[in-house]
A = this chain, B = another copy of it.
Amino acid sequence: MKEHLKTYIQGIVPEFVDQEINLFLKYFKLKKVKKKEFILKQGECVKYETFICEGCLHVFHADCNGNEHTLYFGIKDWWLADIDSFINERPSQFNIQAIQDSSVLIINKEDKDKAFREIPKVEKLFRIMCQKSLIVYQQRIIQYNSMSAEDRYIFFIKKYKDIAQLISNKAIASYLGVTPEYISRLRKKAVNIG
């Protein structure tokens, strides 16, 4: 399983040498997560940063009316964490739940901090990962401001084909910020048009 993460790291920071990666990988523990199982519930403090080897997980916030709002879905090669909670050690706003049986690698805060100190390239790795996430979020924000729900739906389905097939329409709705009913209507329309 750790091979996944190794390949991922080499893809991001090619300067990493084997020995450094292996040292880093030692800090990770493999965890199997069953479908529907939570690895984080909102209100808890995030203890681990998580790399997905296989499966699919759902990061979402439930508001006081019980409505769910999706931050994102993660598949193979994605990282999961509520950074705000992990870094600032405050209760998380988010739930993380497996949509399928999944395998993840987890590292705790002390070990991650140790890795930052022992292996300087880890700083670079996380700096670049963060930048990549930022780009995606920026894109998404511009889309909220400039596109209709219908266009965002079409964009989502195209961009995240593989994820879209694994998740419910309800979950897509909660990602796009619309109601499940509306997704249902959009879908019907899409089918009729072809």
Interface residues of A (CB under 8 A from B): 61, 63, 67, 69-71, 82-84, 87, 93, 116, 120, 123-124, 126-127, 130-131, 133-135, 137-138, 140-142, 144-146, 174-177
- Contact of A69 with B138 in the complex, beta carbons under 8 Å: no
Known contacts: A124-B123, A130-B131, A134-B130. The answer to whether A145 contacts B84 by CB under 8 A is no
Q: How many angstroms between the C-alpha atoms of A89 and B84 in the bound complex?
A: 30
Residues of B close to A71: CB separation below 8 A: 138, 141-142
A123 to B128, CA, bound (A): 9
Q: Are A83 and B145 in contact (CB under 8 A)?
A: no
Cβ 8 A contact of A127, one of B130, B175, B176: B130
A71 to B141, CA, bound (A): 7
Report how far A42 CA is from B91 CA in the complex, Å: 39
- Residues of chain B lying within 8 A (CB to CB) of residue A174: 145
Q: Are B84 and A135 in contact (CB-based, < 8 A)? A: yes
Extra contacts, 20 of them, besides A83-B134, A145-B175 (Cβ < 8 A), are: A61-B142, A63-B146, A69-B145, A84-B138, A87-B131, A120-B120, A123-B123, A123-B127, A126-B127, A127-B127, A127-B130, A130-B130, A134-B137, A137-B137, A137-B138, A137-B141, A141-B141, A141-B144, A144-B144, A146-B177
